[in-house]
Amino acid sequence: MLIVSNLDVPLQTNEKSILELENIFKEYSDRKNKTHTKLIVINNLNLTIKKSEFVTIVGPSGCGKSTILNLVAGLDQVFDGQINVDDKPISISPSTDRVVVFQEGALFPWLTVYGNIEFGLAIAKVPKDKRKEKVMKLIEMVQLSNFTNAYIHQLSGGMKQRVAIARALALNPKILLMDEPFAALDVQTRKMLYSHILRIHEETKKTILFVTHNIHEAVALGDRVIIMSPKLANIKKQIIVNIPRPRSIDHPLVESITRAILSESDESFVNGGVAEIEPDNVDINNNVIPTVR
Ligand SMILES: Nc1ncnc2c1ncn2[C@@H]1O[C@H](COP(=O)(O)OP(=O)(O)O)[C@@H](O)[C@H]1O
Ligand SMILES: [Mg+2]
């Protein structure tokens, strides 16, 4: 069985770590409770990610996935513990070390595909000819060459997310952070995007930290799946996904590992029983739950 270990998957010594989360503690003032009690969302979390690794974080809605990503991104700096990139604590000043792709790409509707991808490079004062070369290469990478001059409203949801990915990559981040980037897309489009992101990872060897509530997606994409538990406010389990790359999203192990995770999961993933899992039916979001037989 491929579920190999609990909390700490040791790093092979010759593999360089790029991101380290050390003893991360994060609490919020409880929004639902007016007595100002605190809600502990992350409690002493440790996680190390290797260069070029594709790590997926999965867990039910509200378990702190976005919180982790926002801390790593530097969007939220109120926490205890330490986050290192390349052995250095992440700095307070804005950095293009880490760039986030959100569920809704937040693209600029007044700019074309080209303009959106070019935007960050223009801000960074990259010379125009260099910019063009880079943008055209990225447009090719996300396979939108026929849409170079299209405006955002002329694109499908999947195309928009590909623009968002290209725009993030334009900044040449060390780590690409993705917060449920495909959650708003239909099943067919999502599958296409899986192939795109796997290919892009293959081509760029970027380190990717990818958050999702969809177990199937986490397994299909990740070298390692980090399962979060809201009860623990921490990592419950890590799973090495030994499916070779370049990877087919239809590899039979994707489904069997997904099944294994679901069958081991408590009520926070499935409401008891043995889950009959269709690959497209493994969302653990409130309304889409695997058929229980
Ligand atoms: N700014 C905030 N203030 C108070 N509570 C928050 C805030 N952001 C998130 N939370 C709470 O923290 C928990 C984790 O949120 P989040 O990281 O967004 O979860 P996930 O991304 O896994 O759905 C949830 O209970 C959420 O309601
Ligand atoms: Mg979230």
Q: How far apart are CA 256 and CA 56, in angstroms?
A: 17
* 180 contacts 207 by C-beta, under 8 angstroms: no
213 CA closest ligand 1 atom index: 22
pLDDT in tens, 223-233: 999 999 999 99
Instruction: List the residue whose alpha carbon is closest to atom 20 of ligand 1.
Output: 62
Q: What is the pLDDT of residue 96?
A: 83
* 243 contacts 54 by C-beta, under 8 angstroms: no
Residue in 32, 63, 77 to alter for ligand 1 test, most ligand atoms within 8 A of Cβ? 63
Q: What is the pLDDT of residue 15?
A: 78
**Of the candidates 186, 137, 139, which has an alpha carbon nearest to the alpha carbon of residue 163?**
139
Instruction: List the residue whose alpha carbon is closest to atom 24 of ligand 1.
Output: 62
Instruction: List the residue whose alpha carbon is closest to atom 16 of ligand 1.
Output: 64
Longest pairwise C-alpha distance within the chain: 60
Tokens found for residue 250: 């239809």
Q: How far apart are CA 56 and CA 221, in angstroms?
A: 7
Query: Mean pLDDT across the chain, nearest whole number?
Result: 86
The C-alpha angle with vertex 252 and arms to 247 and 256, in degrees rounded to 5, equals 115
State in Å: Cα 41 to ligand 1 middle. 7
For residues 283 and 38, which has the higher predicted lDDT (pLDDT)? 38
Phi-psi region of 57 (alpha: psi -120 to 50; beta: other; left: phi over 0): beta
Q: What is the pLDDT of residue 278?
A: 37
Q: Indicate whether 272 pLDDT > 80.
A: no
> Helices (DSSP H) in the chain: which residue ranges?
65-73, 113-123, 128-141, 157-170, 187-204, 215-221, 252-264
Instruction: List the residue whose alpha carbon is closest to atom 4 of ligand 1.
Output: 28
Amino acid at 89: P
Q: How far apart are CA 185 and CA 165, in angstroms?
A: 15
State in Å: Cα 55 to ligand 1 middle. 21
Please give the average per-residue pLDDT across 181-202, as a whole number. Answer: 96
State in Å: Cα 113 to ligand 1 middle. 32
- Give the whole-number percent of the chain exceeding pLDDT 90: 77
Specify which residues 48 forms β-bridges with.
20
- Cα–Cα distances (Å) from 166 to 113, 150, 210, in that order, read 10, 15, 16
Instruction: List the residue whose alpha carbon is closest to atom 18 of ligand 1.
Output: 66
**Of the candidates 215, 213, 174, 178, which has an alpha carbon nearest to the alpha carbon of residue 196?**
178
pLDDT in tens, 199-211: 999 999 999 999 9
pTM of the model: 0.88
Q: How far apart are CA 98 and CA 173, in angstroms?
A: 5
Q: What is the pLDDT of residue 93?
A: 67
pLDDT in tens, 97-149: 999 999 887 899 999 999 999 999 999 999 999 999 999 999 999 999 999 99
For residues 159 and 6, which has the higher predicted lDDT (pLDDT)? 159
How many helices and strands (H and E) does the chain possess?
A: 7, 12
**Of the candidates 264, 280, 269, which has an alpha carbon nearest to the alpha carbon of residue 58?**
269
pLDDT in tens, 22-81: 999 999 987 776 677 889 999 999 999 999 999 999 999 999 999 999 999 999 999 999
Sheet order of strands, 207-212 included: 98-101, 175-179, 207-212, 54-58, 224-229, 234-240
For residue 208, give the 3-state DSSP assignment: strand
Q: What is the pLDDT of residue 106?
A: 86
Q: What is the pLDDT of residue 279?
A: 38
Q: Whose atoms come closest to the Cα of 61: which ligand?
A: 1
Q: What backbone torsions phi and psi does residue 149 show, to the nearest 5 degrees?
A: -105, 15
